[in-house]
A = this chain, B = another copy of it.
Amino acid sequence: MSGFGIDHLPYGVFSAAGGERRVGVRFEDTVIDLYAATGRPEFAARSLNQFLALGPEVWRQTREEVAGLVVSGAASIPLADAILHLPIEVGDYVDFYASEHHASNVGRIFRPDQEPLLPNWKHLPVGYHGRSGTVVASGTEVVRPSGQRRAPADSEPTFGPSARLDIEAELGFVVGAPSALGDPVPYAAFSEHVFGVVGLNDWSARDIQAWEYVPLGPFLGKSFATSISHWVTPMASLDAAWCDLPVQDPTPLTYLGPGHVRGLDIDVEVVLNGEVVSRPPYRTMYWSPAQMLAHLTSNGASLRTGDLFGSGTISGPDPDERGSFLELSWGGQEPFGDGRTFLEDGDEVVLRYSAPGTGGGRITLGDVTGRIQPAR
C-alpha cells in the first residue's frame, strides 16, 4: 500500500521535461497532468490558487472527474519524472498553539515555578501571524539562521548562528474559498472554505526566539523558513479520519462551537537522519481546526485563497510523542536518541503523516523534508 491510492488523490504543482508548471494529482507512483487531461485553464498555473478559488462545488466535481482519469490512465507521467514545487501561493500564514501537551511542556520548561498554561490558553486558540514569504516546499535546504540572542548567564546579547535550532511538527490547513472583510466565518462553515491539509515543519531558532519574543511574539526565531509538503490532501479524502478531540473544560464561548470539538486522527512521525524519534498524534490536540478558523476570522478578518494556518506543534501526552526537540530534550537538559538536543548542520528531518482512508486502509499525506545547511 503506497497510501496514494484512489481514496487519496492529493493535488500538487509539478513540471516535467523542462516544461511549465502545472497542477497535477498524485495516484500511486504517477502524476496526472490535469491541464493535459482537461484543458481547464486553472490547471496551467504555477500554484493551486486559481483552482482553489473556484470553491467547494468545483472541488467536489473535479475529484469525481479525477477518479475517472485514474481509471482511464490518461495524461499520467511517472512521479520520478516530475519536479515538485511549492503547491500554493501563500496568502497569510497564521500559526496556532493548539496542543495542550505542547503548551504545557513549554510552560514547564520556561516557567517551572508557575502554572504551565497561561490564563487565556483554555479560552481561545492562541495564534499569531508568521512570514508567508518564507514558506518553502519540502526538500528546500534550511540555512541555519544567525541572530541576536542572550544566554541567561550573559549581561549583553551577541549576534551569531543559532545554537538551538529546532523543528515543530505541525499540520497545515489550506484555505480555498475567500471571505469578505468584516464578516466572520462561523464554525460550521469550515468545509466551505478549507480545501485541504499539508504537512508542515515550522523551523524554530529557540535562542533567537527567547530573546526577542516579549512582548510582541515570535519573529526572527521563526521567519527564516517554514516547510510544507508538496501534496495538498483534500478534506474530501479525510472523511474517515474525523474523530472526537479531548473534552474542553471550560466550555468555550459560543462562537467557538461548544460541543463540536472534532479533529483528525492523523499519525505523525518525526524522523531524524533515518531514525524515528517521535510519533505525535494529532487526535490529542485541544483546539480543533474549525475552532481555529472561527477564531481567526471572529474579528472580521477576511480570508484569501492560499491562506495557510498551522496547528502549532503537535505533542501527545507521552514523552515519545513530542513534536519538537525543545520538548524531546526538555529544554536541552535531557539529551534524547543518540545524545541529541538541538539540530546540527547536515541533519535531515522528515515528517511523515498518515490517516485512515475511506477505503478501509490508510492514506499517506505528503511528507516534509529538510536538511540543515551551515550558517552563511
Binding site for B on A (CB under 8 A): 91-92, 94, 97, 118, 120, 123-124, 126-134, 136, 143, 145-148, 150, 156-159, 181-184, 205, 208, 211-221, 223-225, 250, 253-255, 295-296, 298-304, 307, 376
Contact = CB atoms under 8 A, between A and B. Distances in A.
Contact of A147 (B133, B205, B299): B299
Nearest to A144: B300
20 contacts: A91-B133, A92-B133, A120-B157, A120-B211, A120-B212, A123-B148, A126-B215, A128-B219, A129-B219, A129-B223, A145-B299, A146-B184, A146-B298, A147-B298, A216-B217, A220-B295, A220-B296, A220-B299, A224-B300, A300-B376
A307 B132 CA distance: 11
Contacts of A91: 132-133
Nearest to A307: B133
A150 B124 CA distance: 12
A145 to B, nearest CB: 4
Contact of A159 (B133, B221, B254, B302): B254
Nearest to A128: B216
B212 A134 contact: no
Contacts of A303: 133
Contacts of A220: 295-296, 298-299, 301
A43 to B, nearest CB: 23
Contact of A217 (B131, B150, B215, B304): B215
A212 B302 CA distance: 19
A124 B298 contact: no
Given A129-B130, A225-B181, A304-B133, A159 B253 contact: yes
Contacts of A301: 131, 133-134, 220, 223-224
A52 to B, nearest CB: 15
Nearest to A182: B143
Given A118-B215, A157-B253, A217-B218, A182 B376 contact: yes
B148 A298 contact: yes
Nearest to A306: B133
Given A120-B212, A126-B219, A129-B219, 12 more contacts: A92-B133, A118-B215, A129-B223, A132-B132, A133-B307, A147-B298, A159-B298, A205-B299, A208-B299, A220-B301, A224-B299, A224-B301
State the 9 A-B residue pairs at the shortest beta-carbon distance, nearest first.
A217-B217, A145-B299, A128-B216, A129-B129, A143-B182, A216-B217, A220-B299, A224-B299, A223-B301
A127 B219 contact: yes
B218 A216 contact: yes
Nearest to A148: B124
Contacts of A145: 299-300
A130 B68 CA distance: 43
Nearest to A140: B181
Contacts of A148: 123-124, 253, 298
A92 to B, nearest CB: 5
A309 to B, nearest CB: 11
Nearest to A155: B119
Contacts of A304: 133
Contacts of A214: 118, 120, 215
A32 B206 CA distance: 50
B97 A299 contact: no
